[in-house]
């Protein structure tokens, strides 16, 4: 199955102005999509249009501009909600995945007490580890981890979830190993033990069709900028009854209905969790991003990503002295590949690839404990998105051989 045809691909690439940029006189090849993705002109234009034509605050003014901005702002919430099959009230706009996870950790900590347990995995991004770590320290909670097996998948048979577990928070796709975790299965175990189930979907919503009802998660978090959208805007999805029970994280304007000097009544969902003037341009830009992704269709994006990843793994396996981390089966892996060349430091590889216009990530990928567990200090990571091509992967692998030549 050819996910995105060559013709369609050429057209699609034209939507991304940055892809025609030269880096050191070479054509840019952008393979750092797990860090952030490039933006299509449709999203850029939407943001320009907002600032040029109807910039104003939302939910306050009764004038025309505010009316228009509010409409678009709320429309963006609806688009995102539909995109993940949630209700409008269940989708809260935040700064991004990190803020969403912090919001959850702080707000849910009101319901936790000493001795309660939180279960994470050994492959979490720092943003799904440090917030829990800090509330655990403060409240005397216990953190437990689902272990990683040698093949880069989770050891669910020996999972530490039990009746003391109050929260299970796991990444859907590891940003370092690329592993796609069986979230439905883990959610079931969590719920059997009456624990809340949180999915860090920062790496999965951009690449897979996601249905929160099908996953049956209690909360799910992700960022716009990893899926063609602007930075500084992200999502906290939560089941309505749970969000209603929770204490707000930020207090201030827009999140209240009525304020007295001594007390305040909070606004209804989702505004209860969106205090202060929000990132309006980002939200409206995110709305345009969802339109764009719907046009390409998430199924096509997944197929294209799988095809590129499969191709890249095959090509990389032909490079001598190169080791790939995580599952090799493209069905079990997102569109990213972490690897090392023996005896060459990731930063040296990244610098030399940059000479050829190739942008990849090198380092610990915000997963220091996972790296240490595997006896590594860093790796190189190439990550793909809908605008990448097999030709780019060919050039990338050829250039890797040249990098090896420098160190010979």
Partner 1 sequence: MNDFMNQEMYLEHILDLYKNPLNFGVLDNADFKERCFNPSCGDEVEIQVRLDNNKVEDVKFIGKGCAISVASASLLTDHIKGKSLDELKNLTKEDMIKLIGIEVGPARVKCVTCSLVSLREGIKSLEDKNVRS
97, HSE (Cβ side, Cα atoms, 13 Å): 29
Least distance to partner 1 from the beta carbon of 321, Å? Answer: 15
Which of 188, 295, 347, 390 contacts partner 1 by CB under 8 A?
347
CA angle 211, 174, 314 (to 5 degrees): 105
24 binds partner 1 (CB under 8 A): yes
Cβ-Cβ contacts under 8 Å for 381 (sequence gap 6 or more): 32, 34, 176, 336, 337, 338, 339, 360, 361, 362, 365
Q: By CB under 8 A, which span of 9-17, 71-79, 148-156, 348-356 interacts with partner 1?
A: 348-356
Is the CB of 165 or the CB of 399 nearer to partner 1?
399
Q: How far is the CB of 99 from partner 1 (least distance, A)?
A: 21
Smallest distance from partner 1 to CB 129, Å: 15
Q: Which range of residues in 243-251, 294-302, 325-333, 368-376 is near partner 1 by CB under 8 A?
A: 368-376
CB of 75 or CB of 348, closer to partner 1? 348
Cβ 158 to partner 1 shortest distance, Å: 29
Residue 21 binding partner 1, by CB under 8 A? no
CB of residue 16 to partner 1, shortest distance in Å: 24
Q: Binder to partner 1 among 88, 354, 359, 395 (CB under 8 A)?
A: 354
- Which of 39, 28, 34, 40 lies closest to 392, judged by CA? 28
φ, ψ (nearest 5 deg) of residue 85:
60, 45
Question: Per CB under 8 A, does 352 bind partner 1?
Answer: yes
Is 217 a known active-site residue? Answer: no
> How far apart are alpha carbons 288 and 39 in whole angstroms?
11
Of the residues 196, 306, 378, 396, which one makes contact with partner 1 according to CB under 8 A:
378
Give the three-class secondary structure for 237: strand
Separation of CA 202 from chain center = 1
Q: How far apart are CA 341 and CA 346, in angstroms?
A: 8
Q: Are 241 and 292 in contact (CB under 8 A)?
A: no
Residues that bind partner 1 (CB under 8 A): 24, 345-348, 351-352, 354-356, 362-364, 368, 371, 376-378, 402, 406-407
């Amino acid at each position: 199955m050819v996910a995105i045809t060559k013709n369609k691909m050429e057209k699609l690439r034209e939507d991304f102005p940055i892809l025609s940029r030269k880096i050191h006189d070479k054509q840019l090849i952008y393979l750092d999509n797990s860090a952030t993705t490039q933006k299509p002109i449709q999203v850029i234009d939407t943001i320009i249009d907002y600032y040029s034509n109807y910039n104003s605050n939302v939910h306050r003014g009764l004038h025309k501009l505010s009316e228009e901005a509010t409409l678009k702002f709320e429309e963006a919430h609806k688009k995102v909600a539909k995109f993940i099959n949630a209700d409008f009230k269940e989708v809260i706009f935040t700064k991004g995945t990190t803020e969403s996870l912090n919001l959850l950790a702080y707000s849910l900590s009101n319901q936790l007490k000493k001795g309660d347990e939180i279960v994470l995995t050994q492959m979490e991004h720092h943003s799904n580890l440090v917030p829990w770590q800090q509330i655990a320290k403060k409240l005397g909670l216990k953190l437990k981890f689902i272990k990683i097996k040698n093949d880069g998948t989770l050891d669910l048979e020996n999972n530490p979830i039990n009746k003391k577990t109050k929260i299970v928070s796991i990444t859907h796709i590891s940003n370092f190993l690329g592993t796609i975790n069986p979230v439905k299965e883990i959610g079931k175990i969590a719920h059997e033990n009456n624990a809340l189930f949180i999915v860090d979907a920062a790496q999965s919503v951009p690449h897979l069709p996601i249905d929160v009802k099908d996953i049956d998660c209690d909360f799910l978090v992700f960022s716009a900028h990893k899926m063609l959208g602007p930075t500084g805007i992200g999502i906290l999805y939560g089941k309505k009854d749970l969000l209603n029970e929770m204490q707000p994280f930020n207090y201030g304007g827009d999140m209240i209905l009525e304020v007295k000097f001594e007390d305040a009544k909070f606004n209804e969902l989702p505004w209860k969790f969106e205090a202060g003037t929000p990132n309006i341009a980002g939200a409206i830009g995110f709305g345009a991003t969802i339109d764009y992704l719907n046009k390409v269709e998430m199924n096509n994006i997944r197929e294209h990503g799988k095809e590129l990843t499969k191709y890249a793994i095959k090509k990389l396996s032909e490079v001598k002295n190169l080791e790939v981390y995580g599952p090799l089966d493209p069905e079990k892996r997102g569109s990213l590949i972490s690897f090392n060349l023996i005896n060459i430091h990731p930063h040296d590889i990244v610098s030399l690839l940059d000479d050829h216009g190739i942008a990849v990530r090198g380092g610990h990928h915000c997963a220091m404990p996972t790296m240490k567990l595997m006896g590594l200090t860093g790796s190189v990571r190439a990550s793909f998105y809908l605008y990448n091509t097999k030709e780019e992967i060919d050039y990338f692998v050829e250039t890797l051989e040249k990098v090896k030549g420098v160190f010979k």
